[in-house]
Amino acid sequence: MNQAAMTKLRKNGTLTIGALFGLFSLLMMALSAFQIKQDELNMVTRGLYDPRAVAFTFEDLGQAIDWKEIDTDRPFTVFTNPDEPIRGFYYQRETYIPPMISGRFFKENDFYRGQKYIVVGQAIDQQTIDNWQQQGYRLLGIMGASYASAIDHLILVNLDAMEQGKPAAYYNEDGEPVASEIYVINSHDKLIVGDELHFNHHTVFRVNTIAREDVGVFRFLEFSLFQIIISVLSHVLIFSLTLLFSFYWLEKQRTECIILWHLGIQLRKPYSRYALTLFGLLSISYGLIGILTLSWMLIFNHNLQTIIFHTNNMLIGYLLMLLAISASISLGSWRVKKTIYRRVVSKVL
């Protein structure tokens, strides 16, 4: 591109609007990174419990629990011993995967295969790990964030291995059934209806739910509302800035549009060119920054859930900025038509 073309692009504001689109794209990526880090902080601070998790005990276990037989095809995660460092763990379809120092987290096919697995926090010493391995457990991975958190001292055991050898029912000294140990379920669906947990083959267990304040693990500040407010405000800000500066750039082209109209050229033609310019600048700047951030995540973050979440955020941000540009084009076209109409009316009068 020669010097004259560069000077023209600088004078008509094209280089400036391209740089601004790059800045707005970077802000959108930063927002996505903030949301990812905030979600991570919330989950590891709670010890991997979801804010909507339900704690409960079974009233009377007449038979052993087979967690893969819960009557739902939706994702859920089950923990035992919610206030203890050693916890049973099971999930169906998908679950939150914490940051890993080494190795991997549980996979769905690790359960009910007759195997014994553990995933430990980064603060667990080697001697403790060796003791578990001597009992036949295989270490899958070590979890931990770049900061101290509640998961550092956890030992997660595949739930089917932990419950091997436990009684099918719990009784007191008088032979009367008593409540089981505490379980916690993470699920977006309401699996416990009333005081019943339904399993396949019409099997129903009666449960007692436990208020959150009675389980120490739930005593954490809720950040969900704060995250929603920050996300909404940030998206509104980026949309508004994109709309404002796109409209400003189109206003700088208004004189050219009016001249072309006097030459008999329809407004649709220059505005089609302006739209292609704005969409092209956005696609190039957003695409380059998006590829760089996604490449960084693929190299340094192997959590598939995080990568998918970031990709979705990228697409939402791109569509939001496209919408803002489309709105600015409609507004700019209306302004030019209004100016031309006034000039025509003034000549007639």
81, 198, 307 from 9: Cα distances, Å? 65, 67, 36
Residue for token digits 């095809």?
73
Mapped onto helix, strand or coil, the DSSP state of residue 196 is: strand
> Which residues contact residue 173 at a Cβ distance below 8 angstroms, ignoring those fewer than 6 apart?
none
User: Any idea what DSSP says for residue 5?
Assistant: H
**For 74-92, how does the pLDDT look when each residue is reduced to its tens digit (9 = 90+)?**
888 999 876 678 899 999 8
Burial state string for 132-149 with b = 16 or more CB within 10 A and e = fewer than 16: beeeebebbbbbbbeeeb
In the prediction, which pLDDT does 270 show?
80
Give the integer Cα–Cα distance in Å for 230 and 86.
Answer: 36
> Which residues contact residue 28 at a Cβ distance below 8 angstroms, ignoring those fewer than 6 apart?
238, 286, 313, 314, 317, 321
Instruction: Report pTM.
Output: 0.70
How many residues belong to the chain?
Answer: 349
In the prediction, which pLDDT does 349 show?
55
Of 33, 32, 39, nearest in space to 313 by CA = 32
**For 277-334, how does the pLDDT look when each residue is reduced to its tens digit (9 = 90+)?**
999 999 999 999 989 888 887 777 667 778 888 889 899 999 999 999 999 988 888 8
Give the integer Cα–Cα distance in Å for 56 and 183.
Answer: 5
> Which residues contact residue 104 at a Cβ distance below 8 angstroms, ignoring those fewer than 6 apart?
140, 141
Would you say 109 and 131 are in contact if contact means Cβ atoms under 8 Å apart? no
91, 131, 133, 186 from 126: Cα distances, Å? 27, 9, 10, 30
Please list the ranges in the chain whose pLDDT falls under 70: 1-13, 60-64, 82-83, 165-180, 201, 211-225, 260-264, 301-302, 340-341, 343-349
Give the integer Cα–Cα distance in Å for 310 and 17.
Answer: 25
In the prediction, which pLDDT does 167 show?
52
